[in-house]
Amino acid sequence: FSLSEFNQKTNKSITTTELKRTIKALMSKTIEINISSNNWKIFNWFSYFEFKQGVITCRFDKELKPYLLEIKKRFVVSDLRMLLAMKSSYSKRVYLLLKEYAKIGKRTFEVEHLQEIFKVPKSFKVYSEFKKKVLKRAEVDINKFTDLEIKLSERKRGRKVVEITYTIRKNQTDLKSFISIIREMYV
């Protein structure tokens, strides 16, 4: 794909320098696939990028092929513009986890399992920090920028919060309001 197509799809104007920095960051991202407790694999998403005469060429790692083909069974359709509007990577990940269950209207997570999924730093292992920096931030971002409206509720065992449940509904904010918010952010 071309850089101009990328800029058009994302409604941004990324320079070649920014593109190179982004690609380097992508090349350092890994994906871990747990097959069982003693059996796992770690991959880089991409094995190759090239930028030549305004055209970007990339290749997913060949070893990912069976896993990428399996994704067809478990995919989530989302508008990229909604994801780009959110600054927090945790907000984006929470959104995708909840988007899967939008038709069901509810999704429950064990707090420790969610912290493990997100691979949060040690400072976020304390629930109050995790709630403030990840869960509440995601709730605000998702309600403001996406097609979902969510509400977080907690379940405690004693004084410890052990489980959280998101109630998921269609966001009632009209499209014009949403577009104006996005335009404010990306002039």
- Rounded (10°) angle between helices 3-10 and 16-28: 80
Distance of alpha carbon 32 from alpha carbon 43, whole angstroms: 7
Total-model pTM? 0.57
pLDDT tens digits for 41-71? Answer: 888 888 889 999 889 898 888 888 877 766 6
Give, as one character, the DSSP assignment of residue 138: H
pLDDT tens digits for 83-119? Answer: 777 888 899 989 988 888 888 889 999 999 999 888 8
pLDDT tens digits for 110-169? Answer: 999 999 888 889 989 999 999 999 999 999 999 888 888 999 999 999 999 999 999 999
